[in-house]
Amino acid sequence: MIVIEKLLAAEQVAQYRGALQSLPWENGDKTAMGMAASVKNNNQADAKDPHVRQLANQLLASVGNTPKIVSAALPHKIFPPCFNRYQESEEYGYHVDAAIMRLPDSSDVIRSDVSMTVFLSEPGEYEGGELIIKTEFGEQVVKLPAGYAVVYPSSSLHKVTAVTKGTRLAAITWMQSMVADSNLRSNLYQLDQSIQSLIQNESTSREELDRLHNVYHNLVRQFSII
């Protein structure tokens, strides 16, 4: 589970929120699959609306331009982001994201390896609405500032607790990684982050960086599935 700080600037968050106020919404259970539909109680912006698609494309551009997300997820395909809204008494019970997702208006599918939630409401604007992710280290409670995001394995059991006051706005998306194994992907992320830190250290030799780059890219080359 990795937090992405300030994926969206404050003015970008304001733009999304302003646009979403006037766009059509539908019951979220229409978009859930299998057992997830029975525990999903929220609203989702109509993905077929051209203005919603435009917002989704803008968010995709931000995702692709964020090195930390690329490093963490090694994305091969990304599902168009969806925008959801939780108001009083609305929640999404424990569920696992569908392993295979069909891309909208396409015969193509993606395997969901990495899930991402982008928060569009400030934590103080609503009560409840925490994202709870079950991990090997126990339940992780996530409630981040607007513009922040969290990425985590799609295989994780997770839920959004009931909102008891205010409104929670967020965007969600899923990625098919070039590296399907979550443990290997995590190790590659740690290696890449270490390399990035060494680059900032002026005492690190070019020879050492080249050697580490060689190891990293050869591992990606060996284990990537594209």
Which tens digits make up the pLDDT trace of 154-204? Answer: 999 999 999 999 999 999 999 999 999 999 999 999 999 999 999 999 899
Total number of domains in the chain: 2
Residue 73 three-state SS: helix
Binding residues for 2-oxoglutarate: 168
135 and 96, same structural domain?
yes
pLDDT for the residue 181:
94
Question: For the chain, what is the mean pLDDT?
Answer: 94
The pTM of this model reads 0.92
The DSSP result for 44-71, as a single string, is: EE-TTSHHHHHHHHHHHHHHHT-HHHHH
pLDDT for the residue 46:
93
For residue 35, name the pLDDT band (cuts at 50, 70, 90). low
For residue 30, name the pLDDT band (cuts at 50, 70, 90). confident
For residue 28, name the pLDDT band (cuts at 50, 70, 90). confident
187 and 136, same structural domain?
no
188 and 153, same structural domain?
no
Binding residues: 95, 97, 158, 168
216 and 130, same structural domain?
no
203 and 104, same structural domain?
no
pLDDT at 15 over 80: yes
Residue 134, domain CATH: 2.60.120.620
Structure tokens at 146: 């607007």
pLDDT for the residue 29:
74
136 and 47, same structural domain?
yes
186 and 88, same structural domain?
no
Which tens digits make up the pLDDT trace of 48-82? Answer: 999 999 999 999 999 999 999 999 999 999 999 99
State the DSSP H helix or E strand holding residue 212, giving kind and residue range, or none if neither.
Answer: helix 206-223
Residue length, the chain? 226
80 and 32, same structural domain?
yes
How far is Cα 61 from Cα 16, in angstroms, rounded to an integer? 14
Which tens digits make up the pLDDT trace of 92-113? Answer: 999 999 999 999 888 899 999 9
Rg of the chain on CA atoms, in Å? 18
Residue 35 three-state SS: helix
Binding residues for Fe cation: 95, 97, 158
192 and 169, same structural domain?
no
149 and 56, same structural domain?
yes
Q: What is the span of the domain harbouring residue 211?
A: 182-223
210 and 160, same structural domain?
no
pLDDT for the residue 33:
64
Domain boundary among 140, 162, 177: 177
173 and 216, same structural domain?
no
pLDDT at 34 over 70: no
pLDDT for the residue 106:
87
Share of the chain above pLDDT 70, in %: 97
Domain boundary among 177, 194, 211: 177
